[in-house]
């Protein structure tokens, strides 16, 4: 009988200790993702922050908590209202989209023209002294050349 009382006393101690710790995950209502960096103000005293996965643990007894984070509505919950998942509502003061436009600076001179003019060299775009094997396989360029010639004939007759 004494053994039964001892075991039941240990079970009650463990149950009381489990009741003193509460853990939950803070989630975003719109994106359904975890929210990191939420300040959880424990009433009557104490502050806990959520980790990168939105989880937090409260050790000890508490009456209510207030969850606060920039970009979200603050939320106050009583102990009886709390579940293992807490949903926070983003406030409407967020940016819908950001448009970034970049312009490439223009050079005051042409680097292509200067090199050939300095040495009086003819322009040769091929890699191997006048013949480029891969350029001869470029059928698109040949079609463009034929098209240019055709347009030139039409414009000459016009």
Please name the residues in contact with 24: beta carbons below 8 A apart, sequence gap of 6 or more: 55, 56, 82, 83, 84, 85, 86
Using the predicted structure, report yes or no on whether residue 25 has a pLDDT greater than 90: yes
**pLDDT grade for 125, boundaries at 50, 70 and 90:** low
pTM: 0.49
* Domain assignments of the chain as residue spans, ordered by start: 2-88, 111-157
- What's the pLDDT at 41? 95
**CATH number corresponding to 2-88:** 2.60.40.1120
**pLDDT grade for 21, boundaries at 50, 70 and 90:** confident
Distance in angstroms between the alpha carbons of the first and the last residue of the chain:
118
Separation between Cα atoms, residue 61 and residue 58, nearest integer Å: 8
Higher pLDDT, 20 or 59: 59
- What's the pLDDT at 105? 73
């Amino acid at each position: 009988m004494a053994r039964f009382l001892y075991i039941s006393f240990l079970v009650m101690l463990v149950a009381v200790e489990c009741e003193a710790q509460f853990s939950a995950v803070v989630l975003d209502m719109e994106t359904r993702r975890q929210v990191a960096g939420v300040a959880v103000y424990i009433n009557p005293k104490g502050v806990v922050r959520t980790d990168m996965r939105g989880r937090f643990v409260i050790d000890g007894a508490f009456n209510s908590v207030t969850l606060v984070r920039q970009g979200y509505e603050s939320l106050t919950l009583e102990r009886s209202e709390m579940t293992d998942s807490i949903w926070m509502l983003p406030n409407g003061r967020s940016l819908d989209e950001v448009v970034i436009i970049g312009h490439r600076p223009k050079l005051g001179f042409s680097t292509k023209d200067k090199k050939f003019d300095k040495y009086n060299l003819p322009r040769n775009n091929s890699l191997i002294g006048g013949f480029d094997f891969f350029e001869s396989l470029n059928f698109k360029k040949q079609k463009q050349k034929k098209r240019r010639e055709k347009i030139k004939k039409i414009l000459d007759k016009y």
